[in-house]
Amino acid sequence: MRKYENYALGNWVSGNGNETVLHNAITGAEIGIVSSGLDFSSMMEYARNVGGPALRKLTFQQRGLMLKQLALHLHSVKSKFYPVSYQTGATKIDSWIDIEGGIGNLFANASLRRQFPDQYFHVEGSAAPLSKNGTFIGHHILVPKQGVAIHINAFNFPVWGMLEKIAVNLMAGVPAIVKAATLTSFLTESMVREIIESDILPKGSLQLICGSARGILDHVDSEDVVTFTGSADTGKMLKSHQRLIEKAVPFNMEADSLNCSVLGEDAVPGTAEFDIFIKEVQKEMTVKAGQKCTAVRRVIVPEKLIEDVQIALGQRLSKTTIGDPSIEGVRMGSLAGKSQKKEVLENINKLANSQEIVFGSEESFEVVGASKEKGAFVSPFLFLNSYPFKNLDCHDIEVFGPVATIMPYKDVNEAIKLARLGKGSLVCSLVTNNMKLAEQFVLGASSMHGRILILNESCAKESTGHGSPMPLLTHGGPGRAGGGEEMGGIRGIKHYMQRTAIQGHPSTITAITKQYQIGAKQNIDGPHVFRKYFEEIQIGDTVITEKHLVTLDNIEEFAELSGDKFYAHMDENSLDGTIFTERVAHGYFIMSKAAGLFVDPPKGPVLLNYGIDECRFTKPVYPGMTIGVRFTAKEKITQEKKDENDIAKGIVKFLVDVYDDENDTVMLATILTMVKMKDQS
């Protein structure tokens, strides 16, 4: 029998602890064994001392490109994971969500490199002025924690669960130890083998535990981060671990929750929204055989539409073909194992004590191409709870399978109360085309939900659906859902970094952050910055331009050219009650004239203007005033070459400080220029 291995200390090892037999969820056949018995303390030291330093040597741009390269590689070999995934009971669609959804997370996080500096750390927000004359300022930087991310994952998404978590810690510059759920660890192991063989990640960046990880939390320290996905009860037990409390270790919990889908009162039979609702609920009940932390468990419906929903949903569920995922036409596979089937049936029986089964049977359902007895198959179950404020089991007991409860509401306030009875959920969806209803519901229900999807005909074709967390949005929820956040774009990456406030003179803060701070020393010597290649430009390099006298003719000519004849520029008789004392120059004239002053026209290393950030007009400019520009290199970001024929280049952000006769700033902006590198290798 095959031995599935753990990856620890740079080697594949079988472990020497108690062995666990792994099974094919469809056939029940034994497919291998796994054990642990690993030295967790050594694994964590290896991650901290080998993986961490290697990752921290890379800039955000380099880490992002590393993730992109890994995503491209895994995408190129994705077909090899599908046959393994089928053994977990997953259909082709289920497997697509797990495998390609996970790889998609790598791509999404790789793209975030463009929102970070070309450094090993992140500079957050704007500087805080802390003194009258500007010689003392504060800023925030975020540096990678010098610890390890320990991910304790659930069994339902063996690939996605791992990749969505390691994508953010690797992007932050922190290594990971992944504890895969033993039940489906054989699929995680196959993915990690491919990752290790690709040799894309630095050594020590990733380790894998397939067997038991009991005792691993005894070795965590203050710079480590622990994440957990799974049941609320297990999560609460882990969260209270004494070592986590003593060392103040961050613990992010994403627990299974009693998510709901709400049908708006306007979405009556015959409307597109009613059909969308029925289809979405049926999909969320049956995808992954209901084994999703985001699956719909509570179906909240206007009381007048209860019978219509029950009939329509029952009809769709009756057409769901259950069986071997490898057979064409099968739409729902099995649960992940016999232990899961036992737990699901026990909880179905608990729910049946307080509400009525209107669809589903423990015995009377068909399975295509497999044995009900040998595989971990269950029928979808639909309950009706006519008194959801009285019979509360549906708000307390989660069945982690294809099970949901229909319940009525009288008005939108009741719908909100029922949604909140879940005591904290990862996701809620509302199907309506009534914008007022949507506003009232969202504002009333949001504090108890991590995500709310408002679904209607306008977005249904492109919607990713109720059950799909997105890499650039937070995934988590309050209360029962664990109170944590995963993914969320930059937010997720920051979970693995330490935010530190730094204070000092602008020149000092500039030297540390590698971003020019207003008031810092400027270098005005040497050639014009447009004569310099990317490598030659230094932060603080400054051009002090000639000055320009603003005239009334400038204002009128710009108005004619641009078509902007706003009264403040053109009619001195309309200025009563405004902040202006006379006709004022257009802000965009000031911006345009500034460009005319700071640009060095002949062809050189500067390729193009890439955009404008943070443009502010801070003081009116009237005819007769003169303006000049302090044009300063603010930040540099290397750009990767698209192909071997592409020009080697980078983005330079320049601070455009336009000032008047009194040396007061009248306009501040940041422009982005694309600058050629001298070294074209």
Residues with catalytic annotation? 254, 293
Instruction: Check: CB of residue 264 under 8 Å from CB of residue 431.
Output: yes
DSSP characters over 246-290: HTT--EEEEE----EEEE-TT--TTSHHHHHHHHHHHHHHHGGGG
Burial 346-365 (b: 16+ CB within 10 A, else e): ebbeebeebbebebbeeeee
Instruction: Check: CB of residue 637 under 8 Å from CB of residue 672.
Output: no
The closest alpha carbon to 62, from 194, 201, 207, belongs to 201
What does the alpha-carbon distance between residue 616 and residue 516 come to, in Å, rounded to a whole number? 18
What does the alpha-carbon distance between residue 199 and residue 210 come to, in Å, rounded to a whole number? 21
Tokens read off for 158: 């063996």
Quickly tell me which residue has 């089964």 as its tokens. 357
Count CB-CB contacts under 10 A for residue 376: 26
The 3-state DSSP class for residue 35 equals: coil
What does the alpha-carbon distance between residue 30 and residue 69 come to, in Å, rounded to a whole number? 35
The closest alpha carbon to 295, from 338, 247, 257, 335, belongs to 257
Instruction: Check: CB of residue 405 under 8 Å from CB of residue 395.
Output: no
The 3-state DSSP class for residue 303 equals: helix
Tokens read off for 574: 């309309």
The closest alpha carbon to 24, from 9, 56, 2, belongs to 2
DSSP characters over 468-495: ---TTSEE--SGGG-S--EE-THHHHHT
Instruction: Check: CB of residue 503 under 8 Å from CB of residue 517.
Output: no
CA distances, 596 to each of 275, 548, 592 (Å):
59, 10, 6
- Which amino acid makes up residue 493? I
Per DSSP, what are the bridge partners of residue 657? 630, 668
Which residue blocks in 514-653 are alpha helix, DSSP H? 552-562, 567-570, 587-598
Query: Angle formed by the axes of helices 552-562 and 587-598, to 10°?
Result: 100
- Which amino acid makes up residue 202? P
Tokens read off for 49: 């001392």
Query: Angle formed by the axes of helices 435-445 and 412-420, to 10°?
Result: 30
Instruction: Check: CB of residue 557 under 8 Å from CB of residue 550.
Output: no
The 3-state DSSP class for residue 646 equals: coil
- Which amino acid makes up residue 132? K
What does the alpha-carbon distance between residue 406 and residue 428 come to, in Å, rounded to a whole number? 15
